[in-house]
Amino acid sequence: LYTAPDSCEGRCGEPFSEEDECHCHPECGTEHNCCEDHERHCGPDGFSSSRDSITDQELLELSERLYELDHNKARPGDIAINPQHLAGPDETGDKRDRSPQPLYKYVNEELFSKPTYASFIKLLDNYQRATGTEEEVTAEELREQDHFLREVMRTELMQELFVFLQGKNRYSSEQEFLQDLKEMWFGLYSRGDGERDSSGFEHVFSGEVKKGKVSGFHNWIRFYLLEKQGLLNYFSHNFNGPWDTFPDVLGLQFSWDGFYKEVGSAFIGCSPEFEFGLYSLCFLARPGRACHLSLGGHRLSVQTYPWTKSSYGSGRRFI
């Protein structure tokens, strides 16, 4: 199920990439750079067949399909942003507010009544943002997690992703996929002193504060809601993607209650299921490595990180 960066499980026949710690392509034996378990998985009697590996080309094609299937994304008139100052490389770390106006001029909040948005927003207040503070998960919060997962799985986008992964023998049923998504994203692990204080969902979508800095926090809906409440101050942007419709990509600097985020990239205007699905795909296909995708004819990469200090199930990693 989980493709470890130092294993050939699910990677037999994968094309050579300099980013890989070790390799699983047919020539790795003669080049002496195979992963240790190459023979076990990719030998004549191996566990993993090359047809189950996810190729670079398949990632490009599938990401384009998911992009087309994002039926719940914002339409051009739904969001107006005001990016203001474009920060140079020497300006991103200096914590200066170079943009007097908020980033969001307008958001059509009717978007938030769509089932996947509404169930996503319910999850955002379930977390203590400081690492080292144990997360108390209530029965209500567990119900909210299940509700969100059910809603995203009702979308054509997530069904397309599931069918693809099932075809690659990663999951035998939708129930198994759903259960793994729940563990991978909502399972708790410790970033601090043994306290179960963090999860992939909290880090990526809600944001955390670690050692006085904002960590994670890559979601536009979360950003908009906090900016509207006056709890977040937009400083500048250092990157504006080439897309002229939503979702677009913005790299930005901001302060959250006095804690600074130096460079945080985020999709703007996508649905929750689009981000959730795309990041899950990259984590399953290219964990710990750059995952090269294509959206609307433009290339981009998503970098995921497996949490290596603890695992769930049979050695699977949290995102």
Dig out the tokens for 212 from the structure. Answer: 């006085």
203 is catalytic: yes
Q: Which position among 41, 73, 203, 210 bears the catalytic label?
A: 203
Q: Say how many C-beta atoms besides its own lie within 10 A of residue 229's C-beta.
A: 8
DSSP letters spanning the chain: ----TT--TTTTTPPP-TT-SSB-STTHHHHT-B-TTHHHHHSTT-SS-GGGS--HHHHHHHHHHHHHT-TTSPPTTTEEE----B--TTTTTS------S-SEEEE-GGGGGSHHHHHHHHHTTS---BTTS-----HHHHHHHHHHHHHHHTSHHHHHHHHHHHHTTS-SSHHHHHHHHHHHHH--B-SSSS---B-HHIIIII-EEETTEEE---BHHHHHHHHHTT-EEEEEEEEE-S-SSSSEEEEEEEEETTEEEEEEEEEES--HHHHHHHHHHHHHHSTTSEEEEEETTEEEEEE---EEEEEETTTEEE-
Are residues 191 and 210 in contact, defined by beta-carbon separation less than 8 angstroms? yes
Of the candidates 38, 73, 218, 237, the residue annotated as catalytic is 218
d(C-alpha 219, C-alpha 250), whole Å: 11
The residue from 261, 292, 298, 309 that is catalytic is 261
**Mode of pairing for the β-strands spanning 213-215 and 232-240:** unpaired
Residues with a catalytic annotation lie at: 203, 218, 261
